[in-house]
Amino acid sequence: MSDREAVKRQIDKLSPMGVRFVARMVDSMSNPPQPQLASKQTWITSEADWIEYFGLVISAHHGHTVEPLGLLSFETGFRSACEAVGWKVDPQGSAPQRFVDLTVHTANGSSRKLSLKSTATRNLSKTSVHISKLTEAAWIQDVRSARDRRTETLRLFDEYRNAVDSIVMLRAFRSGPSSIPACYQLLEIPSAIFTSLANAKVSAFKADGPTIDCAYGGHAVAARVSLDRSDAKITVKQILLAACDVHAEWELT
């Protein structure tokens, strides 16, 4: 029995209200947003079915709400798209790994350890990316000397880069808090962007909440890492879009 036939049989078992609900969802998916793909093929865009599936995730989500796709929904949709094209992912409920949200094994045998992020902040930049909270770091509030601050920062980012291959982020562009996003952008930030932190001098960590520039991919300042002492977290700001891989954008009409 094909998937189409199985769906028809299940629909026949639904109540009139159930059929109405399904009809509304099908209607929302009948005109999915058309993706704009990166000019350079990526590991995600190389699988056209993945892109189509995730577009349907967006359509289904907005079949019942104007709220942007949040982090939990993004994680679920990302996982489902991977499974739909036969890529292996961590089982639901598997033991968590520090910094890693999902490990994906693609059809060609490669694997990627990913940190997943999402944002729907107003006035998102078209040229740079902001990560409000890369990770927690309680030691920020305890460390006082620049030397110790540098040591702890490098230790944390060594662990981060060893654990995470890249950060995949979904950005929802919208004009107001009550409006449906006009566009979704899926991009990827390599964890290697933080490698140059090891070259930062002790003097760069003198402030209680220092900001350290990261060079990467020919960009003198590809990203800026900030130690937020008030919230004990690591913030990454002004990440150049040119230093990232933009997989696809979906425009909603």
pLDDT tens for each residue of 158-195: 999 999 999 999 999 998 877 889 999 999 999 999 99
Residue 114's closest CA among 247, 209, 24?
Answer: 247
Q: Is residue 176 within 8 Å of 237, Cβ to Cβ?
A: no
Q: And the tokens for 13?
A: 């078992």
pLDDT of 111 above 80? yes
Q: How confident is the model at residue 77 (pLDDT cuts 50, 70, 90)?
A: very high
pLDDT tens for each residue of 205-244: 999 899 999 999 999 999 999 999 999 999 999 999 999 9
pLDDT of 103 above 70? yes
User: What are the structural domain ranges in the chain?
Assistant: 31-251
According to the model, what pLDDT value does residue 76 have? Answer: 94
- Strand order of the sheet with strand 128-136? 128-136, 233-240, 219-228, 211-216
> Which of 5-9, 42-46, 195-199 has the weakest average pLDDT?
5-9
Q: What is the dihedral of CA 68, 69, 72, 77, to 10 degrees?
A: 170
